[in-house]
C-alpha cells in the first residue's frame, strides 16, 4: 500500500527517482510522436502544407492550457489521484487520434493529448518535494533526464513504427502504455496532500501574482521560451527538409532523430553544476550554443554530405542547449517556495511551451513559403533575442 509523504521526509529513494523519471519520459513522449510524422499525417488528413505545423502546435497549445488550468490543482488536491485521472484523459485522446479520418478530429485529439500530458509537470515538482535542498538539483536533473529521453526517443520511435505499420499505430501503442502506466503509478506513488487552503479559482488567479512578484521566473521562462522555440522549429522542419532534399524515408528520419538522444546527457550534468552555483554560466553556454548551431545550418545548406553531417551534429547540440538550461532554470524555480511549487513550475512551463508553439508554427509556415533557409533564419533569431536579454542580467541583478 502506498505511503503518504511525511513532512519530515527529505530524501528521495533511488527507486522512486527512477519511477518518476521513467513515468515522465513515457508521458511527455506523447507530445512529440507526431513531430516527425507531420508529412504523412497531414497527407492522410488532407491538411495543406502551410497548416501542417498545426499538428505539433496544437499539441503544445494544449500543454500550455493544461499547465495553466490543471497543474495548479497539484497545489490543491491529492496528487496521485490527479495524476491517474489526467492519464485516463490522455488514453482517450490517443485513441481518438488513432481513429481520426479528418483533420478537425485529429487536431482536437492533439489538443487533448497536450493538456492531459501535463501530468509530467506534476511529477517533477513531486520529485522536488521528496528531495532535500542539497540534492534537489541532482534529483530534478535525473528526473528531467528521463523526461528529456522521452522527448528525444519519441521522434525516432514514432518514425520507425510509422515506417513499418503506419502512423496510427504509435497512438494505439501509446494508449495501451498510458493505461498500464496509470495502474502502476496508482500502486507505487505516495500520497501527497498539498497544504494550500486556496480555492481553485484563487489558485489560477494567483498565477498572475506569482508572475509579477518573481522576476527570476520571468527571466528564466523567457530564456527557455526562446531556446525551446528554436528547438521546436528545428524538429518540426528538419523531417520535411530531410525528406524533400535528401530523400530520406521514415526509417532514415528515425535514425536521424535517434542521434538527438545524446543531448539528454546535459540534464544531469546541468543539475549538478547548478548545485554548485554555476547557473549563469550554464545559461550563457546554452544560449550561445543554440545561436551558433542554427547559424551554421542556415549558412551551410548545399545538400552535401558535410551539410547532412552538420544537421546530425546540430540535432545533438540543440538538444543539449535546451535540456541543460531547462534543468538549471527549474532548480532555481523550485527554490522560490514550496507551497506554490506546482504553480510556479506550471507557469514556467506554460511560458516556454508558448515559445515552442510559436517556433513550430513559424517554422512550418516559413518552410512552406520560403524553404529551409527561411525557417533556419528564424531559428537563429529566437535564441539571439534571448542572448540580448541575457546581457541585461548583470545590470538587473
Looking at residues 104-124, what average pLDDT do you find?
93
pLDDT surpassing 50 at residue 12:
yes
Q: What is the three-class DSSP state of 196?
A: coil
Q: Which one has a higher pLDDT value, 248 or 137?
A: 248
pLDDT value, residue 280: 86
Tell me how crowded residue 207 is: count the other CB atoms within 10 A of its CB. Answer: 20
Q: Which one has a higher pLDDT value, 278 or 108?
A: 108
116-125, 223-232, 274-283, 355-364: the lowest-pLDDT one: 274-283
> 153 pLDDT band (50/70/90 cuts)?
confident
Q: Grid coordinates standing for 214? A: 518573481
**Domain extents in the chain:** 14-396
For the CA atoms of 245, 246, 251, 254, the dihedral, rounded to the nearest 10 degrees, stands at: -70
pLDDT surpassing 70 at residue 10:
no
pLDDT surpassing 90 at residue 49:
no
CB-neighbour burial class of residue 85 (10 A; exposed 0-12, middle 13-18, buried 19+):
middle
Q: What is the three-class DSSP state of 312?
A: helix
Looking at residues 193-199, what average pLDDT do you find?
77
Looking at residues 357-383, what average pLDDT do you find?
92
CA separation, residue 191 to residues 2, 77, 182, 221, 257 (Å): 7, 10, 14, 29, 37
Looking at residues 147-154, what average pLDDT do you find?
82
Estimate to the nearest angstrom the gap between the alpha carbon of 307 and the chain centroid. Answer: 27
pTM above 0.75, yes or no: yes
pLDDT surpassing 50 at residue 8:
no
Alpha carbon distance 97, 153 (integer Å): 20
pLDDT surpassing 60 at residue 13:
yes
> 218 pLDDT band (50/70/90 cuts)?
very high
Pick the CATH number of 14-396 from 3.30.420.40, 3.40.640.10, 3.90.870.10, 1.20.1250.20: 1.20.1250.20
pLDDT value, residue 394: 66
pLDDT value, residue 309: 92
> 3 pLDDT band (50/70/90 cuts)?
low
Helices 54-69 + 38-45 axis angle, to 10: 100
> 266 pLDDT band (50/70/90 cuts)?
low
Give percent of the chain with pLDDT exceeding 90.
42
94-108, 110-124, 247-261: the lowest-pLDDT one: 247-261
CB-neighbour burial class of residue 265 (10 A; exposed 0-12, middle 13-18, buried 19+):
middle
Looking at residues 102-111, what average pLDDT do you find?
94
pLDDT surpassing 70 at residue 64:
yes
Q: Grid coordinates standing for 230? A: 528554436
> 2 pLDDT band (50/70/90 cuts)?
very low
pLDDT value, residue 194: 79
Per residue in 291-300, pLDDT (tens digit) is: 999 999 999 8
Amino acid at each position: 500500500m502506498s505511503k503518504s509523504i511525511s513532512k519530515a521526509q527529505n530524501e528521495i529513494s533511488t527507486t522512486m527517482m527512477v519511477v518518476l523519471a521513467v513515468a515522465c519520459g513515457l508521458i511527455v513522449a506523447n507530445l512529440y510522436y507526431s513531430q516527425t510524422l507531420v508529412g504523412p499525417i497531414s497527407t492522410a488528413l488532407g491538411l495543406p502544407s502551410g497548416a501542417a505545423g498545426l499538428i505539433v502546435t496544437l499539441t503544445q497549445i494544449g500543454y500550455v492550457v493544461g499547465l495553466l488550468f490543471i497543474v495548479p490543482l497539484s497545489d490543491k488536491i491529492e496528487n496521485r489521484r490527479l495524476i491517474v485521472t489526467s492519464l485516463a484523459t490522455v488514453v482517450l485522446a490517443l485513441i481518438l487520434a488513432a481513429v481520426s479520418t479528418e483533420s478537425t478530429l485529429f487536431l482536437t485529439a492533439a489538443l487533448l493529448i497536450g493538456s492531459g500530458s501535463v501530468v509530467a509537470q506534476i511529477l517533477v515538482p513531486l520529485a522536488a518535494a521528496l528531495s532535500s535542498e542539497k540534492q534537489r538539483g541532482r534529483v530534478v536533473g535525473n528526473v528531467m533526464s528521463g523526461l528529456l529521453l522521452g522527448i528525444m526517443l519519441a521522434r525516432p520511435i514514432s518514425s520507425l513504427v510509422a515506417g513499418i505499420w503506419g502512423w496510427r499505430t504509435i497512438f494505439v501503442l501509446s494508449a495501451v502504455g498510458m493505461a498500464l502506466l496509470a495502474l502502476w503509478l496508482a500502486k507505487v506513488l505516495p500520497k501527497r496532500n498539498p497544504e494550500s487552503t486556496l480555492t481553485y479559482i484563487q489558485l489560477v488567479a494567483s498565477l498572475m501574482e506569482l508572475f509579477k512578484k518573481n522576476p527570476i521566473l520571468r527571466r528564466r521562462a523567457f530564456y527557455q521560451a526562446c531556446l525551446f522555440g528554436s528547438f521546436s522549429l528545428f524538429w518540426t522542419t528538419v523531417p520535411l527538409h530531410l525528406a524533400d532534399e535528401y530523400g530520406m524515408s521514415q526509417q532514415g528520419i528515425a535514425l536521424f532523430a535517434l542521434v538527438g538522444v545524446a543531448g539528454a546527457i546535459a540534464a544531469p550534468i546541468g543539475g549538478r553544476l547548478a548545485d554548485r552555483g554555476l547557473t549563469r554560466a550554464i545559461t550563457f553556454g546554452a544560449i550561445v550554443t543554440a545561436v551558433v548551431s542554427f547559424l551554421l545550418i542556415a549558412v551551410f545548406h548545399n545538400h552535401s554530405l558535410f551539410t547532412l553531417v552538420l544537421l546530425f551534429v546540430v540535432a545533438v547540440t540543440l538538444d543539449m542547449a535546451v535540456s541543460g538550461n531547462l534543468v538549471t532554470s527549474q532548480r532555481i524555480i523550485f527554490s522560490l517556495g514550496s507551497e506554490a511549487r506546482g504553480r510556479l513550475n506550471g507557469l514556467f512551463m506554460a511560458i516556454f511551451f508558448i515559445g515552442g508553439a510559436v517556433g513550430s508554427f513559424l517554422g512550418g509556415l516559413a518552410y512552406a513559403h520560403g524553404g529551409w533557409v527561411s525557417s533556419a533564419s528564424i531559428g537563429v533569431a529566437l535564441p539571439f533575442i534571448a542572448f540580448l536579454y541575457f546581457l541585461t542580467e548583470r545590470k538587473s541583478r
